[in-house]
Amino acid sequence: MLTLDEYERLDPRCELVHNGVPIVYVTPTLFTKWRVDSLFEKEPVTINWIAEFAENEVLVDIGANVGMYTVWAAKTRGAMVFAFEPEAQNYALLNHNIIINGLGARVKAYCLALSDEAGYSELHLSAVQLGGSCHSLGERVDFKHEPMNPAFSQGCVAARLDDLVASGVVPLPNYIKIDVDGFEPKVVAGARRVLRDGKVRSLLIETNQNLPDHLQMVAELESMGFRYDPAQVAAAERKSGTFKGVAEYVFTR
């Protein structure tokens, strides 16, 4: 049996080293450790995309979870990151990861959902789990837009990226990552003014090719001058399982 003091001192962490740079992630559960163990296999497209960043370029990470890519971009590329994660447990661990990596001056995290409308809402959780995902803002539907029975519904505040940039809370970004489990088109709808600005060089968006609104989102981004490589999408696409048809699209100008 551990005493409370002994338990608190355990503070489990995993460390990776990239080109001599140490990156540390707090791993209080097996699931958060899995996120570290699978960092290079789960979404290799995202790791390769981040490798293109130059020092001090701005990344907006929408759906940051516990900060796997937020921390990676700030530590390995010297990016300035504005991270958004509305789920309470993930947001707390996201900040812990920012702190232990000494990134307080380079990363700012907000406990906010980004969408097409600003205001108070609910975040419907698929599970109450550190590092969990597939949550739903406002609507009780899953990432396939099918009805869900949430494990818990948390109070949540939503904002539009256009408003955050216009008010000076967030600078105009060079890169935007959007991974919000089915609600990506709403994030894009709330960022149209930002996306039309030529300073935005590239987007990485998790896209469910089974959903009409996601295909419409792709067409809208193309109308704004963004392009993607079908071969890259095909390589990233899940070919089987729960997320069959889902892929990271890398859009560039």
Query: Residue 9's pLDDT is what?
Result: 84
Q: Are 125 and 88 in contact (CB under 8 A)?
A: no
Count Cα atoms within 13 angstroms, Cβ side, for 130: 15
Q: What is the pLDDT of residue 10?
A: 86
3-class DSSP state for residue 113? Answer: strand
d(CA 76, CA 127): 31
- Which of the 8 DSSP states describes residue 54? P
From the list 151, 36, 19, the residue with the least C-alpha distance to 97 is 36
The three-state secondary structure class of 176 is strand
* C-alpha to C-alpha distance for 239 and 233, rounded to whole angstroms: 12
Cα of first residue to Cα of last residue in the chain, in angstroms, is 58
Write the CATH number of the domain with boundaries 13-252: 3.40.50.150
Which pLDDT value is given to residue 139?
Answer: 94
- Cβ atoms within 10 Å, residue 55: 8
Residue type, 66: V
Locate the domains of the chain by residue range. 13-252
| 8 A C-beta contact, residue 69 and residue 170 | no
DSSP H or E run through 37: helix 30-37
pLDDT in tens, the chain (253 residues): 889 888 888 889 999 999 999 999 999 999 999 999 999 999 999 999 999 999 999 999 999 999 999 999 999 999 999 999 999 999 999 999 999 999 999 999 999 999 999 999 999 999 999 999 999 999 999 999 999 999 999 999 999 999 999 999 999 999 999 999 999 999 999 999 999 999 999 999 999 999 999 999 999 999 999 999 999 999 999 999 999 999 999 999 9
With residues binned 3-state (H G I as helix, E B as strand, rest as coil), the percentages for the chain, rounded to 5, are 35, 25, 40
SS3 state of residue 73: helix
Q: What is the pLDDT of residue 7?
A: 81
CA distance 165 to 118: 14
